[in-house]
Amino acid sequence: DGGITQSPKYLFRKEGQNVTLSCEQNLNHDAMYWYRQDPGQGLRLIYYSQIVNDFQKGDIAEGYSVSREKKESFPLTVTSAQKNPTAFYLCASSTLRTVGAYGYTFGSGTRLTVV
Amino acid sequence: EDQVTQSPEALRLQEGESSSLNCSYTVSGLRGLFWYRQDPGKGPEFLFTLYSAGEEKEKERLKATLTKKESFLHITAPKPEDSATYLCAVRGRSYAGGTSYGKLTFGQGTILTVHP
């Protein structure tokens, strides 16, 4: 079955450490997205990518970085510059055709905690 | 800028007690309003897409409706397994570098708890 796989499910980061969240999809979707979810604030867009080797900043990109070297993969790095990284991170994907039908397909999320 | 506001933030119901969740939106050229269900610690799952005012969609105990300014998710005779966070999102007419892309704007969600 096609879908989006996020790993790890739980991640703990020490102060000053960079960590990378993995997102892989086998849906052949062109676009991929990273969202951050905090209680009471809904989903906020961090970065998105429409094609390989191209990506754009979302609303809260500071302290984060991404790469899109393969169509299937869109890893997110949370850098030490992100002062409040504790949150639930969601990866999503779509095509221009499917986004009109049902929006995005989401992964199961990664919960990042600063220790 | 597209905006979505959901109310209430949290809703507690007794099993069988029907109610509605609200999603108010402002968008430039609505190209779809989406409802998702999200269980704790999981990603959102698609429920409905609505495109134009007056449209309605139903699935089991859920019914979504749309006007030009808001959408409602009606829950009829809810059961405890309906407990979840319900998210609303809109897709407007967004362009980046001249290419339309599928950016969704989400509300903050309504946490629904149904007690047996």
The whole-number pLDDT of residue B98 equals: 42
The whole-number pLDDT of residue A27 equals: 94
Q: Give the DSSP per-residue string, A57-107.
A: E-TT-TTEEE--SBTTB--EEE-TT-S---EEEEEEEE-TTHHHHH--EE-
Chain A residue with Cα closest to B49: A102
Which of residues 54 through 73 in chain A touch B, CB cutoff 8 A? 56
The whole-number pLDDT of residue B28 equals: 84
The whole-number pLDDT of residue B97 equals: 44
Paired strand residues for B36: B46, B87
User: Which residues, at least 6 apart from A65, have a Cβ–Cβ distance to it below 8 Å?
Assistant: A76, A77, A79
How far is the alpha carbon of B34 from chain A, nearest alpha carbon, in Å? 7
Q: What is the mean pLDDT of residues A17-33?
A: 95
Mean pLDDT, chain B, rounded, equals 92
Paired strand residues for B59: B62
Verify whether the Cβ–Cβ distance A103 to B104 is below 8 Å: yes
Regions in chain B scoring below 50 on pLDDT: 96-99
B8 contacts in A (CB within 8 Å)? none
